[in-house]
Amino acid sequence: MTYLLALDQGTSSSRSIVFDRAGRVVASAQRELRQIYPQPGWVEHDPMEIWANQLATAKDALLRAGISASQVKAIGITNQRETTVVWNRRTGVPLHQAIVWQDRRTEPDCQRLRDQGQAANIQERTGLVLDAYFSGTKVGWILDHVPGARAAAECGELAFGTIDSWLLWQLTGGRVHATDVSNASRTMLFNIRTGQWDPELLNLLQVPPQLLPQVFPSSHVFGETDASLFGQSIPIAGIAGDQQSALFGQACFRKGLAKNTYGTGCFLLMHTADQLQTSGNGLISTRAAQVGVGPQYALEGSVFIGGAVVQWLRDGLRAIDSSTAVQALAQSVPDSGGVVFVPAFTGLGAPYWEPEARGAIVGLTRGTGLGHIARAALESIAFQSAALLGAMGRDAAAGQSAPITELRVDGGACVNDLLMQFQADLLGVPVVRPKVVETTALGAAYLAGLGTGVYQTLEELESLWQPERTFLPTMSPQRAAELMAQWEHAVRQATLA
């Protein structure tokens, strides 16, 4: 049989999944990733830990599948996007911890650029809102705060990459420094119209071009693994940022199809085909995973804190012993009792873009218990996603596109039936959960399979997608609108500035 190995390097863990040709999970392995918080609003990862964990899970997955490297046709990589690594090309040693996409330390740099009137210019070129979320200002921070880094970068001694580039470098023994268009489009350095690194943006953000990886389509043979890692070389033939990979794994290949991933954050993407559609409602334009020479685009809304709010209930509030216990606690009460939880721990992303917002729990009474807070925490994930879909619907109408008629869902929290039903109720459209919810990894596997001839067409992949359960709206539109109004009022309480 033919197998594909997907490396799924996420914000909270590193996973590897072996898929068969039909897109079924054969075996998987996962290791949690340590979160480093040097200061409030700062979030870091150890790049060497990322690499060690990812390699270990890949070997574990192959062992659990009972297969050897010779049976793996190709490897696909999917990754947390925007997280920034700078390393020495000769030694392969990182200069600094990886600065995670959630990190807010470069917000003052972004504000200076806004004050200089650069926000519209950057959005025109990159499709992105000027924000510390993206990689460009993170690179500059490392170069300015590690002694000698800027001089070394200008001499060509250093390499920058998002996590896909870092893993690709390690997997190939330092022979390949590359990325794909979907990850490049998240750096705030890449012109999504021309498909090239943008010299004006590099100059504006003071990023030497010598640092940058080569950019290729998402389905492409980037290189081969060093033979010492798995006993023989395996082609690496697919790379995509996690959300574009999930869009691909959900078989959303056509204009108007949309998916939402419920992970550490929540990420709603709608495919816009070969049309670059700009948002008038706080969303961003991005490159979708690319097969072949033609560019593909998507509209995206990003929620910074999605499933991570459940981690906070576990680790911060100590309300639950494990993340899986949240549904039972939330179901111990019939509703949230008027409590609304805005988990703006690192500011608010789309469609609000309020970097100074902070978490708030409003509507507390003497009768409020942990069950109400847990339910409000779960509901916050759905509220934020509903705000995104509302913005996306307005953009679709402005672009004379058909409205979204269903939402395909994936990610760890999509297995929570209470959350999915509440999501369908708020949206007023069916929420469809596929049989294979590991669509982020599946997308990377599909891209690698296309790159090595395992699959021939997108239609072939489309036929493999199957729904597991559809959640239909049961709430009246009036009640849904009332709840959304309460949510928006709570959001205003969280933005104190």
Alpha helix (H) ranges present in 196-283? 199-205, 227-230, 242-249
pLDDT band at 56; cut points 50, 70, 90: very high
Cβ atoms within 10 Å, residue 274: 10
pLDDT band at 245; cut points 50, 70, 90: very high
Instruction: Provide mean pLDDT across the span 287-304.
Output: 90
Report residue 274 as tokens. 């070969």
The closest alpha carbon to 71, from 231, 219, 220, belongs to 231
Cβ atoms within 10 Å, residue 89: 15
Residue-wise pLDDT for 129-139, tens only, equals 898 989 999 99
Pairing relationship of beta strands 190-191 and 235-241 according to DSSP bridges: unpaired
Cβ atoms within 10 Å, residue 482: 12
pLDDT band at 324; cut points 50, 70, 90: confident
The DSSP code for 203 is H
pLDDT band at 400; cut points 50, 70, 90: low
Asked whether residue 343 carries a pLDDT value surpassing 80, the answer given is yes
Asked whether residue 301 carries a pLDDT value surpassing 70, the answer given is yes
Asked whether residue 66 carries a pLDDT value surpassing 90, the answer given is yes
pLDDT band at 118; cut points 50, 70, 90: very high
The closest alpha carbon to 166, from 155, 154, 176, 181, belongs to 176
31: which residues sit within 8 A by CB, 6+ positions away? 13, 14, 15, 53, 56, 57
What percent of the chain lies above the pLDDT cut of 90? Answer: 74
Residue-wise pLDDT for 154-194, tens only, equals 999 999 999 999 999 999 999 999 999 999 999 999 999 99
Residue-wise pLDDT for 425-457, tens only, equals 999 999 999 998 889 999 999 999 999 999 999
Asked whether residue 71 carries a pLDDT value surpassing 90, the answer given is yes
Q: How many CA atoms are closer than 13 Å to the CA of 333, on its beta-carbon side?
A: 19
- Greater model confidence, 219 or 393: 219
d(CA 177, CA 51): 15
Residue-wise pLDDT for 326-336, tens only, equals 888 998 999 99
- Greater model confidence, 355 or 126: 126
Report residue 133 as tokens. 């979320």
∠ CA(288), CA(6), CA(434), 5° rounding? Answer: 70
The closest alpha carbon to 344, from 448, 213, 490, 449, belongs to 490
Asked whether residue 401 carries a pLDDT value surpassing 80, the answer given is no
Q: What is the pLDDT of residue 380?
A: 93
Instruction: Provide mean pLDDT across the span 461-471.
Output: 94
Q: Are 422 and 379 spatial neighbours (Cβ–Cβ below 8 Å)?
A: yes
Asked whether residue 403 carries a pLDDT value surpassing 80, the answer given is no
Q: Tell me the range of 46-50, 380-384, 390-394 where mean pLDDT is highest.
A: 46-50
Q: What string of DSSP letters covers 380-429?
A: HHHHHHHHHHHHHHHHHHHTTPPPP--EEEESGGGG-HHHHHHHHHHHTS
The closest alpha carbon to 84, from 29, 141, 34, 35, belongs to 141
SS3 306: coil
Whether omega for the bond prior to residue 351 falls within 30 degrees of 0, making it cis, is yes
* Lowest mean pLDDT, pick from 150-154, 349-353, 421-425: 349-353
d(CA 151, CA 353): 34
Q: What is the pLDDT of residue 394?
A: 85
SS3 258: strand
Asked whether residue 279 carries a pLDDT value surpassing 70, the answer given is yes
Asked whether residue 309 carries a pLDDT value surpassing 70, the answer given is yes
Tell if the pTM clears 0.85, that is, is over it. Answer: yes
Q: What is the pLDDT of residue 320?
A: 86
pLDDT band at 497; cut points 50, 70, 90: low
Asked whether residue 354 carries a pLDDT value surpassing 90, the answer given is no
Average pLDDT, the chain: 92
The closest alpha carbon to 5, from 49, 55, 43, 44, belongs to 55
Q: Are 261 and 407 spatial neighbours (Cβ–Cβ below 8 Å)?
A: no
What percent of the chain lies above the pLDDT cut of 70? Answer: 99
